[in-house]
Amino acid sequence: MRMRGGPRPRRKETLVIRFRTAGVVHVVLTIVLGVVSVNSGNNLLCLVTSLLLGYLLASGVAGWRNVMGAEAWAELPDEIYAGRAFRLVVKARNRRRFASIHMIEVSARPAGEWDGLQEPVRAFFGIVSRGETASRSVWMTLPRRGRAALALDVASTYPFDFFIRWGHTPPESGALVFPTPLPERPSSVWADEGRPDEEEDRPVGAPLDAEEVAGVRPYQAGDPVNRIHWKISARTGKLSTRLFETPHVRSGRTIDLDALVRNGVERGLSIAAGRVLEAGREGVPIGLKDRGVMTPPAPGRAARLELLGRLALYAPARGGEERR
């Protein structure tokens, strides 16, 4: 597995082989015919037994080479939120020089302390020609915030469904899962000093002067109802949200995380994540107050992702270190 722009994909570390039902039947039939042919001295039965053994051996060798010739990894999006589905791009590359690989199934699953929290998601590759790379998109959900370890399993029953072979890759701690964003706006969300009390409930980007409308954008889930531009919405048939341009907005805002987590850590982190996303939609610089330490507001996507990453790894002070 690899992140976008990360290291090259690694080969499978282990290979596990198990019999399928068809394989068990084939082996039992081969043994029975072998015993009968030896006892009876029937040349035809000896020939059939030899063919069955050769058939089984060819299946084992071809299937082993098929799985060992496959190399798989996953590309993760930059933003993953707990409890929300995200698109995982699974890729398989054929490392063989002279033949295609067939019937490859790649499973992605949480590993380590995340093991068992989520069912694996699977991507199937019918044929991948020599030297080529194929990709499939699957939807995955991770149930909680933190740094998730993901592992990939490559499986195949090629060519005759006698065996199933798994190639396992060690887990990689590549997925940083952000808290589930909530649209709530408690009065304690902001750490800005010197603001009038009546501004506490104003969302990020709200105007000091309600008449100063800088523009509109399509409505997004979580936008406050009082910011919907009803005239334009009625004219276009689609909800539109007003955008405001004020000195207050340009100065940025700071989230008071210390106040938010007093009534519940996870809920407070989710509210903070919602405010970070709202600031991103409005183009407002956003900062964070965490355990009394102020991070000044900064604009741009990189600054927002850094704050979301801190929220993802946040642990209460009594818990010691942050989640890693």
- Dump pLDDT digits (tens) for 171-188: 776 789 999 999 876 665
Smallest CA-to-CA distance from 279 within 217, 179, 206 is with: 206
Q: Which residues contact 190 (CB under 8 A, 6 or more apart)?
A: 200, 253, 254, 255, 256
The predicted-structure confidence for 35-44, as pLDDT tens digits, reads as follows 999 898 888 9
Read off the pLDDT of residues 273-304 as tens digits, 9 standing for 90 and up: 999 998 888 888 999 999 888 889 998 889 99
For 70-73, the CB contacts below 8 A with 24+ separation are 70/94, 70/95, 70/101, 70/104, 70/128, 70/154, 70/156, 70/167, 71/9, 71/11, 71/12, 71/95, 72/1, 72/9, 72/104, 72/106, 72/152, 72/154, 72/169, 73/1, 73/2, 73/9, 73/10, 73/152
Q: What is the mean pLDDT of residues 43-58?
A: 92
pLDDT of res. 291 = 87
- Is 219 within 8 Å of 240 (Cβ atoms)? yes
| The pLDDT of residue 212 | 57
**Rounded Cα gap, residues 234 and 217, in angstroms:** 14
Whether pLDDT at 120 is above 80: yes
Burial of 317 from C-beta contacts in 10 A (0-12 / 13-18 / 19+): exposed
Residue 51: pLDDT over 90: yes
- What's the whole-number average pLDDT of the chain? 82
Question: What is the share, in percent, of the chain residues with pLDDT greater than 70?
Answer: 80
Residue 244 has pLDDT above 70, yes or no: no
What pLDDT, on the 0 to 100 scale, is given for residue 187? 60
How many other β-carbons are positioned within 10 Å of the β-carbon of residue 115? Answer: 12
* Per-residue pLDDT at 41: 86
Better-scored residue on pLDDT, 61 or 227: 61
Task: Over range 244-252, report the average pLDDT.
Answer: 55
Query: Which among 26, 205, 218, 20 has a CA at the least distance from the CA of 103?
Result: 20
Nearest to 310 by CA among 251, 255, 250, 249: 255
- Is residue 199 scored above 50 in pLDDT? no
Q: Residue 154: pLDDT band by 50, 70, 90 thresholds?
A: very high
**52: nearest Cα among 30, 37, 33, 24:** 30
The residue length of the chain stands at: 324
Confidence of residue 26 (pLDDT cuts 50, 70, 90): very high
Catalogue all structural domains in the chain, each as residue range(s) with its CATH number. Answer: 1-178 (2.60.40.10), 197-319 (no CATH)
Residue 318 banded pLDDT, cuts 50, 70, 90: low
pLDDT at site 13: 55
What pLDDT, on the 0 to 100 scale, is given for residue 8?
A: 46
pLDDT at 220 over 70: yes
pLDDT higher than threshold 90 for residue 85: yes
Are the beta carbons of 207 and 183 closer than 8 angstroms?
no
Q: How far apart are CA 303 and CA 287, in angstroms?
A: 9
Assign 107 a pLDDT band (cuts: 50, 70, 90).
Answer: very high
Q: Which of 35-44, 147-156, 239-248 has the lowest mean pLDDT?
A: 239-248
| 319 pLDDT higher than 80 | no
